[in-house]
Structure 1
Amino acid sequence: MENNPIKVAVSGAGGRMGKEVVKMVLADPELQLVAAIDAREAQDAGILAGAEPCGVAVQTDLELALMESGAQVLVDFTTPQAVMNNITTAIRAGVRPVVGTTGFAPEDIEALDKLCRDKGIGGIIAPNFSIGAILMMKFAAMASKYMPDVEIIEYHGDQKLDAPSGTAVKTAELISEVRKEHKQGNPNEHETIEGSRGGYYNGFRIHSVRLPGVFAQQEVIFGGHGQTLKIRHDSYERAGYMPGVNVAVKKVLDLTGIVYGFEHFID
């Protein structure tokens, strides 16, 4: 990495995750906040995040903010409805995206990967930047080789927009890479209430719980003869994701194309 700090823009700077990203960038001398974008606010980004004033005003026009600021990296924690347009705008401007927003379809990631490669830049899309959550996914994939009967239960607050969570989908994908598809449960089972058995993925089920008072948890349950194994991760505050975001901002400068999943950066 060069001696000059990495110039970072934050999209969704007025959101709960965006505020944490702003504070993380301001606290790291290797990073420089050069732009903050949010549709709802127009004040100093530091004040908005609950920190000291930083001299960077929140803007509403992403394209203009990127062009004027000379940002090298855009960190996006917005909404599934806005993220594709945001990241496409960044890539076309030559700005590398680091994305924590969820809700991507596989074809979306393929399209963004092509855009990045055409521009000769890299990007990172990660359903979860928590080190503990990544380890949970890795351990679940390891266990599925030996205990292939599995279900996933994920818990989030009642305002989360997508279900299942990006973390649950990524966990299911990692499990499916090493587990042969087979349909679990009684072949003659019948749901008396539609959806009772959860979402179907490659032969196993994913259950999404949405309740007030819940932050973010996920449990992967394996069943075998006379035993069960549970692998669980609990997140208690948004600051827990920031070490991973920090690593991603610094790693993305060396990439070409989209890397999907933060597990690629944990040996």
Structure 2
Amino acid sequence: MIKVVVAGALGRMGQESCKAVLKAEGMELVGAVDTREIGSALGAHLGIADLEIKVSDNLEKTLQDLKPDVLIDFTRPGVVQGNIELAIKNGVRPVVGTTGMSSEEIEKFRELAAANQVGALIAPNFTIGALLMIKFAAEAAKYFPHVEIIELHHDQKMDAPSGTAIKTAEAIAAVRGNMAQGMPSEFEKIEGSRGGNYEGMRIHSVRLPGFVAHQEVILGGVGQTLTIRHDSISRESYMPGLLLAVRKVMSLNHLVYGLENLLFE
């Protein structure tokens, strides 16, 4: 039985994660950590009357008292870094969906996981469809190297561009390299109109109520365009990949960045 604690348990992704673990075969939800509703019954937030787990605001004490196998983290940038460090130093495997970390921070955690021989996974996206989108986009970029990315999320998302958009751009850049696109003499009449620039490709971020998580990769060629799109209609779409990650991380002794490295291995 894999024992799991969820950090950010009262957030939208945290609540979905708790429900998924409770339903999953071979897993046990043993703890919930959040900064809100401290001491309240988790079941009251999930609509499960007989769930006795209490919400804690002390992650370190929770990890030391309950000794879980895995920490699922859906918190926020600025908080997740300390949570990962606490988990690894306590021998708990972090499975992290929180985005907004720099490549330098990820490398630091890679070194920490290796030094402690603790498995860890940081994944910008847990949806299987989004991972396939990235894989297909990288393949298509071999033939259509002119690319722009449009990612659309709900208006409560703190970081831009999304981790998925960055992962997509990295995968495409690995295939085509840094390449200038568009007119060299183009200019912006409103600053930022052309989006962010990553290795010559443009990334555009949309934040509006009504969206969950969506992304288009538009590839242009002579007389044609190719669009690869993925839509997460609900947060349940993340759960099959999340549960896969929880199971896979149990056999790791190092950090993996990107669920695709476990899915397509």
What is residue 24 of structure 1 aligned with on the other side?
A: 20
Distance, in Å, in 2 between the alignment partners of 1:249 and 1:192 is 47
Matched, 1:69 2:66: yes
Distance, in Å, in 1 between the alignment partners of 2:152 and 2:48 is 30
Call closer, same or farther: CA 1:209–1:241 in 2, change over 3 Å. Answer: same
User: What SS does structure 1 have at the residue aligned with 2:150?
Assistant: strand
> Of residues 228, 231, 238 in structure 1, which corresponds to 2:235?
238
Matched, 1:9 2:13: no
Q: CA deviation at 1:52?
A: 4.0
Matched, 1:197 2:194: yes
Divergent runs of 4+, >4 A: none
Query: Is the 1:144–1:150 Cα contact (8 Å) retained in structure 2?
Result: yes
Count residues with an aligned counterpart: 263
What is residue 227 of structure 1 aligned with on the other side?
A: 224
Distance, in Å, in 1 between the alignment partners of 2:217 and 2:48 is 37
Distance, in Å, in 1 between the alignment partners of 2:137 and 2:121 is 22
| CA offsets 1:83-138 (integer angstroms, 9 cap, x no match) | 00111111111100000000111111111011111111110000000000000010
Distance, in Å, in 2 between the alignment partners of 1:128 and 1:175 is 16
> Of residues 251, 256, 259 in structure 1, which corresponds to 2:253?
256
| CA offsets 1:129-168 (integer angstroms, 9 cap, x no match) | 0000000010000000110000000001111100000110
Counterparts in 2 of 1:33-52, with a 5 A limit?
33-41=29-37, 42-52=39-49
Query: Is the 1:152–1:206 Cα contact (8 Å) retained in structure 2?
Result: yes
Distance, in Å, in 1 between the alignment partners of 2:116 and 2:83 is 16
Structure 1: gaps (5+ residues)? none
Q: CA deviation at 1:6?
A: 0.4
Please give the root-mean-square deviation of Cα atoms over the aligned residues, in Å. Answer: 0.9
TM-score by length of 2: 0.97
Q: CA deviation at 1:29?
A: 3.1
Identity %: 56
